[in-house]
A = this chain, B = another copy of it.
Amino acid sequence: MSGQLASRADYGAAALDLNITKDLCAFLAEATFESLPEAAVHAGRRGVLDWIGCALAGSRHPTISKLLSVLEEVGGAPQATVLGRGMKLGLLEAPIANGQMGHVLDFDDTHMGGVVLHASSPVLSALFALSEKKTVSGRDFLLAYAAGFEAGVRAGQGAPAHHAGGWHLTGTLGTIAAGAAAGRLLGLNAQQMVHALGIAATQAAGMQQNRGTMCKSFHAGKAASNGLLAALLAQKGFDSSDEILEGKRGFCRIYSNVTNTDLILDQLGERWEITRNGHKPYACGVVLHPTIDAMIALGAKVPQTGGVAAIELRVNPLAVSITGVADPRTGLKSKFSLTHTAAVAFLDRAAGIAQYTDERARDPEVSALRDIVHVRTDENLGKDQAWAAVVLQNGERYEHQVVHASGTVDNPMSDAAMEAKFMANAVPAIGQDRAARVRDAVWRLDQLDDVGSLLGPCA
């Protein structure tokens, strides 16, 4: 490159597609609750209900005690509630705890619209912390929640190879989502929102290498805390690049070797990403869900007497690349095991919290069955599709095909199923009465004057 004249080029600015971050942030700063379609509002109610339940169930996970022992030590003035633990922590520490407990069971919501993102753990952990700092109405809360989805999902759509590159999107996109949501709840103007996104995105992290470890759900908690910090800083005039998404050394280019920044603004204001959110009937990664549907169906169909000779699966390649752990020895690892999942779903006709414990991961019956699971990937199968067969030792053969897994956009959980899931998650932590009170309040969230009032019964 000797001899290249470069004295007037400003290498800090984007060369190609200016104003994408600015346009997105102007939209986020200026959107009103009235502009949300009822489908988005209802998706918000469902999302809040589901997340609170997941966080309450997760609050009892051993990982959380380790985390809290440190956060209590470093943390300061109790300002924000830790769900299910009867305690408060500092404003940046409570979101770490709540975000991690929301995601630790892999039971929380999943957006699969060009991303694999568990947005609610980062976003709601940040928003609930702010809801104790000032009085927040249900309408403002729901708008901020939707704004978080817009920012996080759209940033991911602009970086199409982000997931394949090895990133845990709940950590990375979750930080951006939490920053935008917190910024919206703080009422940032458009320029401040640009900075909130810039400060959030520059903290975005989380590696898939840490799947099956305590770090995976920690990513969700740190995303919440980092996003909240970003918004608080932006409010005080802390600045960042104005082109954090599209810039030459910005998010879409350095977190992905493929870039499609045009998608970031596609149908903005028409398509609300929160309406495309999915909720899990099963306590594990969403790519496992079609297989679970199939194995539960086969568990009901196959005679209990005949010994099983083999289980055959055909799945989308992502189910193997994400959940290819063959012989998990811990509950956390077993959530990333297609073979474990097929075995327990068949044996237990369920895939709840009880199917992903350390004990179940080490159970000899489960382990024996795992060893005779044969997996083939098939690119013609969607991420929400699977085919399974059980072959008995007497040669009999039973098959089942799943076209859309339960809980996905094309086969959503009903409101009744969401309620049942919530109560199953929440009652062991806070009891029947308080759980019912929270449930009823969340269904009319847009009428609440003070969202922080939800936290008392959840503490």
* Chain A interfacial positions (CB closer than 8 Å to B): 1-12, 63, 66-67, 69-70, 73-77, 79, 90-93, 165-167, 171, 198-199, 201-215, 218-219, 222, 226, 229, 232-233, 236-241, 243-244, 247-251, 253-254, 257, 317, 320-322, 324-327, 333, 336, 338-339, 373-380
Contacts and interface: CB of A to CB of B under 8 A. Distances in A.
A215 B368 CA distance: 53
A92 B74 contact: yes
A91 B249 CA distance: 32
A339 B91 contact: no
B66 A373 contact: no
A91 B76 CA distance: 9
B63 A76 contact: no
A238 B217 CA distance: 12
A21 to B, nearest CB: 10
A210 B7 contact: no
A218 B203 CA distance: 10
Given A9-B326, A11-B320, A250 B209 contact: yes
A164 to B, nearest CB: 10
Contacts of A379: 1-2
Nearest to A319: B6
Contacts of A233: 66-67, 70, 218
Given A75-B90, A92-B74, A198 B213 contact: yes
Given A12-B325, A237-B66, A90 B91 contact: no
Contacts of A339: 7
Contact of A327 (B10, B198, B251): B10
A445 B214 CA distance: 37
Contact of A244 (B8, B9, B207, B218): B207
Given A92-B92, A215-B240, A240-B215, A209 B69 contact: no
A219 B201 CA distance: 11
B69 A90 contact: no
> Interface centre among A7, A229, A237, by most B CB within 10 Å?
A7
A207 B199 contact: no
B215 A199 contact: yes
Contacts of A215: 198-199, 202, 238-241
Contacts of A219: 202
Contacts of A380: 2
A184 B28 CA distance: 44
* Shortest 9 CB-CB contacts between residues of A and residues of B: A76-B76, A166-B254, A11-B324, A166-B249, A208-B249, A74-B91, A209-B250, A7-B375, A209-B249
A67 B352 CA distance: 44
A272 B165 CA distance: 32
Given A9-B320, A66-B236, 11 more contacts: A3-B377, A7-B326, A7-B339, A10-B327, A75-B76, A166-B250, A201-B207, A207-B249, A208-B254, A210-B244, A215-B239
